Chains A and B, each alone.
Chain A
Amino acid sequence: MIKSIFASICILFSVSVFAQEGSDFPMQKLPQENWQIQGSKWETAGNVVLNPLNTKKSVITPGNGILVAKASSGVLSSGLATQDIKLKFRFVLGAGADTRFNLGNGIAVLLENTGKTSGVTGSISIDNGKIITPLADAGKSVGLWQTLELVYSPAKTASESTVIEKLVLNGLTIHENVFISNQKASSVNDKFTFDNQQGFFAVKDFEYLQFGNNKPVSLSELSYTLQETNGFDRSFEAKATPPVSGKTPVLSYDVPNDYNRYIINFKGKLKVDEAGKYAFTMDYQGAGYLKIDGKQVTGSKEWTYREPMTGMIDLTAGEHDFEYQYQTIFWRPAMGLFVSSGKIRPYALHVSSSLPLPEMKGGVFAEPSGDKAQLIRSFVFFKDKKRTKVISVGTPQQVHYTFDLDNAALLYAWRGEFANVTDMWLDRGEPQVIKPIGLKTELSGRVPFYANGGSPLDSVDVYREFINTSYSLNDQGLPKFNYKWKNSTFSLEYTPSGSDLNVSVNASDYNGFSILLDQGQEIVKIENGLYQVDDHYIKTDPKLKPEIISAGKSKQLVTGLNKQLNYSIIW
Chain B
Amino acid sequence: MAGILLFGGVASAQNRPLTEDDFYKIITIPSPEGLELEVGGLAILPEGNLAASTRRGDVWMIKNPYMLNNSMPSYKKIAEGLHEALGLNYLKNKLWVTQRGEVTILNDLNGDNITDEYQTFYKWPLSGNYHQYSYGPLEMPDGDMIFTLNLDWIGRGASLSKWRGWMLRMTPDGKMTPWATGLRSPAGFGLNKAGDIFYTENQGDWVGSGRITHLEKGDFAGNPSGLLWSGEEGSPVKLKVSDIPDTGEPLYDVAKRVPGIKPPAVWFPHTLMGISLSDIIESGNDGKFGPFDGQMFVGDQGHSKIMRMYLEKVNGVYQGACFPFREGFSSGILRMKWGIDGSMFVGMTSRGWSSTGKDKFGLQRLAWTGKTPFEIKTIKSMPDGFLLEFTQEVNKETALNPESYELNSFTYKYHHFYGSPIINSMKLKIKAIQVAEDGLSARLVMDSLRLGYIHEFKLEGVQNKANQPLLHNVGYYTLNQISTVAPKLDVVKYAVKEKVAAVDHSQHANMPKTDAKAANSAKRIVVMPAEWNGVVDQTIKIGTKPGLKFDIDKIQVKAGAKIRLQFNNNDDMLHNLLILKPGTVDKVGMAAFELGLEGATKNYVPDLEEVLFHSAILEPETSETIYFTAPSKPGNYTFVCTFPGHYTLMQGTIRVR
Residues of chain A having any CB pair with chain B under 8 Å: 231-232, 258, 260-261, 329-332, 374-379, 386, 388-389, 391, 425, 427-432, 463, 467-473, 479
Bound form: Cα–Cα A432–B352 in Å: 13
Does B551 sit within 8 A of A, measured CB to CB?
A: yes
* Contact of B543 (CB < 8 Å), options: A330, A374, A375, A469: A330
Q: List 21 A-B contacts (CB under 8 A).
A: A232-B621, A258-B625, A260-B566, A260-B568, A330-B570, A330-B621, A331-B551, A332-B541, A332-B543, A374-B81, A375-B81, A377-B57, A379-B128, A388-B128, A389-B102, A425-B55, A425-B351, A428-B130, A429-B130, A468-B120, A473-B115
Nearest chain A residue, comparing its CB with the CB of B571: A330
Cβ of B622 and Cβ of A471 under 8 Å apart?
Answer: no
Interface contact tally, CB-CB below 8 A = 89
Question: Whole-angstrom distance from the CB of A262 to the nearest CB of chain B?
Answer: 12
Mark interface residues in B585-628 (1 if CB within 8 Å of A CB, else 0). 00000000000000000000000000000000000011101000
Measured between beta carbons, the chain A residues less than 8 angstroms from B126 are 379, 388-389
Cβ of A376 and Cβ of B119 under 8 Å apart?
Answer: no
Nearest chain A residue, comparing its CB with the CB of B544: A330
Cβ of A427 and Cβ of B351 under 8 Å apart?
Answer: yes
Mark interface residues in B18-34 (1 if CB within 8 Å of A CB, else 0). 00000000000000000
Nearest chain A residue, comparing its CB with the CB of B36: A425
Bound form: Cα–Cα A473–B541 in Å: 56
Question: Whole-angstrom distance from the CB of B345 to the nearest CB of chain A?
Answer: 24
* Additional A-B contact list (17), CB under 8 Å, known A376-B57, A377-B81: A260-B625, A261-B568, A331-B543, A332-B543, A332-B551, A377-B83, A378-B83, A388-B126, A425-B56, A427-B547, A431-B130, A432-B130, A469-B119, A469-B120, A472-B109, A472-B117, A473-B117
A231-B101 contact, Cβ under 8 Å, with A386-B128, A428-B130, A472-B109 = no
Does B243 sit within 8 A of A, measured CB to CB?
A: no
Question: Whole-angstrom distance from the CB of B372 to the nearest CB of chain A?
Answer: 41
Cβ of B81 and Cβ of A376 under 8 Å apart?
Answer: yes
* Beta-carbon contacts under 8 Å, B47-74 to A: 55-57
* Beta-carbon contacts under 8 Å, B563-596 to A: 566, 568, 570
Bound form: Cα–Cα A332–B128 in Å: 30
Does B116 sit within 8 A of A, measured CB to CB?
A: yes
Cβ of A428 and Cβ of B116 under 8 Å apart?
Answer: no
Measured between beta carbons, the chain B residues less than 8 angstroms from A479 are 118
* Beta-carbon contacts under 8 Å, B209-247 to A: none
Measured between beta carbons, the chain A residues less than 8 angstroms from B84 are 432
Measured between beta carbons, the chain B residues less than 8 angstroms from A468 are 120, 123
Nearest chain A residue, comparing its CB with the CB of B353: A428
Closest 4 CB pairs of A and B: A375-B81, A330-B570, A428-B352, A386-B128
Residues of chain B having any CB pair with chain A under 8 Å: 36, 55-57, 80-84, 99-102, 107, 109, 115-120, 123, 125-128, 130, 351-353, 541, 543, 547, 551, 566, 568, 570, 621-623, 625
Question: Whole-angstrom distance from the CB of A264 to the nearest CB of chain B?
Answer: 15
Measured between beta carbons, the chain A residues less than 8 angstroms from B118 are 470-472, 479
Cβ of B99 and Cβ of A377 under 8 Å apart?
Answer: yes
Cβ of B130 and Cβ of A260 under 8 Å apart?
Answer: no
Measured between beta carbons, the chain B residues less than 8 angstroms from A375 are 80-81
Bound form: Cα–Cα A388–B161 in Å: 12
Measured between beta carbons, the chain B residues less than 8 angstroms from A428 are 130, 351-353
A330-B568 contact, Cβ under 8 Å, with A231-B621, A428-B351, A432-B130 = yes
Measured between beta carbons, the chain B residues less than 8 angstroms from A260 are 541, 566, 568, 623, 625
Measured between beta carbons, the chain B residues less than 8 angstroms from A431 are 130
Cβ of B116 and Cβ of A473 under 8 Å apart?
Answer: yes
Cβ of B57 and Cβ of A430 under 8 Å apart?
Answer: no
Cβ of A331 and Cβ of B82 under 8 Å apart?
Answer: no
Q: Is the interface of B mostly helix, strand, loop or mixed?
A: loop
Bound form: Cα–Cα A432–B134 in Å: 14
Cβ of A463 and Cβ of B119 under 8 Å apart?
Answer: no
Measured between beta carbons, the chain B residues less than 8 angstroms from A374 are 80-81
Bound form: Cα–Cα A331–B125 in Å: 35
Bound form: Cα–Cα A332–B57 in Å: 36
Bound form: Cα–Cα A374–B351 in Å: 23
Measured between beta carbons, the chain A residues less than 8 angstroms from B56 are 425
A389-B101 contact, Cβ under 8 Å, with A330-B543, A376-B81, A471-B118 = yes
Bound form: Cα–Cα A261–B101 in Å: 41
Bound form: Cα–Cα A261–B351 in Å: 30
Bound form: Cα–Cα A113–B530 in Å: 79
Cβ of B130 and Cβ of A388 under 8 Å apart?
Answer: no
Bound form: Cα–Cα A472–B109 in Å: 9
Measured between beta carbons, the chain A residues less than 8 angstroms from B123 are 389, 463, 468
Question: Whole-angstrom distance from the CB of B2 to the nearest CB of chain A?
Answer: 42
Question: Whole-angstrom distance from the CB of A353 to the nearest CB of chain B?
Answer: 15
Question: Whole-angstrom distance from the CB of B157 to the nearest CB of chain A?
Answer: 15
Bound form: Cα–Cα A429–B621 in Å: 24
Measured between beta carbons, the chain A residues less than 8 angstroms from B541 are 260, 332
Nearest chain B residue, comparing its CB with the CB of A329: B570
Measured between beta carbons, the chain A residues less than 8 angstroms from B570 are 329-331
Measured between beta carbons, the chain B residues less than 8 angstroms from A430 are 130
Nearest chain B residue, comparing its CB with the CB of A392: B81
Bound form: Cα–Cα A379–B107 in Å: 24
* Contact of B119 (CB < 8 Å), options: A331, A425, A470: A470
Bound form: Cα–Cα A84–B325 in Å: 69
A472-B116 contact, Cβ under 8 Å, with A331-B570, A376-B81, A429-B130 = yes
Measured between beta carbons, the chain B residues less than 8 angstroms from A472 are 109, 116-118
Measured between beta carbons, the chain A residues less than 8 angstroms from B115 are 473
Nearest chain B residue, comparing its CB with the CB of A231: B621
Bound form: Cα–Cα A430–B127 in Å: 12
Bound form: Cα–Cα A258–B526 in Å: 13
Question: Whole-angstrom distance from the CB of B54 to the nearest CB of chain A?
Answer: 10
Measured between beta carbons, the chain A residues less than 8 angstroms from B125 are 388, 463
Measured between beta carbons, the chain B residues less than 8 angstroms from A470 are 107, 117-120
Question: Whole-angstrom distance from the CB of A332 to the nearest CB of chain B?
Answer: 6
Cβ of B81 and Cβ of A388 under 8 Å apart?
Answer: no
Bound form: Cα–Cα A349–B422 in Å: 51
Measured between beta carbons, the chain B residues less than 8 angstroms from A377 are 57, 81-83, 99
Cβ of A471 and Cβ of B117 under 8 Å apart?
Answer: yes
Measured between beta carbons, the chain A residues less than 8 angstroms from B117 are 470-473
Measured between beta carbons, the chain A residues less than 8 angstroms from B353 are 428
- Which of B127, B128, B625: most chain A Cβ within 10 A? B128
Bound form: Cα–Cα A473–B119 in Å: 11
Question: Whole-angstrom distance from the CB of B47 to the nearest CB of chain A?
Answer: 24
Bound form: Cα–Cα A236–B109 in Å: 61
Bound form: Cα–Cα A471–B115 in Å: 11
Nearest chain B residue, comparing its CB with the CB of A463: B123
Cβ of A388 and Cβ of B120 under 8 Å apart?
Answer: no
Cβ of B81 and Cβ of A391 under 8 Å apart?
Answer: yes
Bound form: Cα–Cα A468–B119 in Å: 9
Measured between beta carbons, the chain B residues less than 8 angstroms from A331 are 543, 551, 570
Question: Whole-angstrom distance from the CB of A237 to the nearest CB of chain B?
Answer: 14
Question: Whole-angstrom distance from the CB of A428 to the nearest CB of chain B?
Answer: 3
Question: Whole-angstrom distance from the CB of B620 to the nearest CB of chain A?
Answer: 9
Question: Whole-angstrom distance from the CB of A329 to the nearest CB of chain B?
Answer: 8
Bound form: Cα–Cα A473–B81 in Å: 12
Bound form: Cα–Cα A479–B100 in Å: 20
Measured between beta carbons, the chain A residues less than 8 angstroms from B621 are 231-232, 330
Question: Whole-angstrom distance from the CB of A370 to the nearest CB of chain B?
Answer: 11
Cβ of A231 and Cβ of B352 under 8 Å apart?
Answer: no
- Which of A329, A377, A473: most chain B Cβ within 10 A? A377
Question: Whole-angstrom distance from the CB of B332 to the nearest CB of chain A?
Answer: 13
Question: Whole-angstrom distance from the CB of B56 to the nearest CB of chain A?
Answer: 6
Measured between beta carbons, the chain A residues less than 8 angstroms from B100 are 388
Nearest chain A residue, comparing its CB with the CB of B124: A463
Nearest chain A residue, comparing its CB with the CB of B568: A260
Measured between beta carbons, the chain B residues less than 8 angstroms from A473 are 115-117
Bound form: Cα–Cα A386–B161 in Å: 14
Measured between beta carbons, the chain B residues less than 8 angstroms from A389 are 101-102, 123, 126
Nearest chain B residue, comparing its CB with the CB of A467: B120
Bound form: Cα–Cα A160–B127 in Å: 53
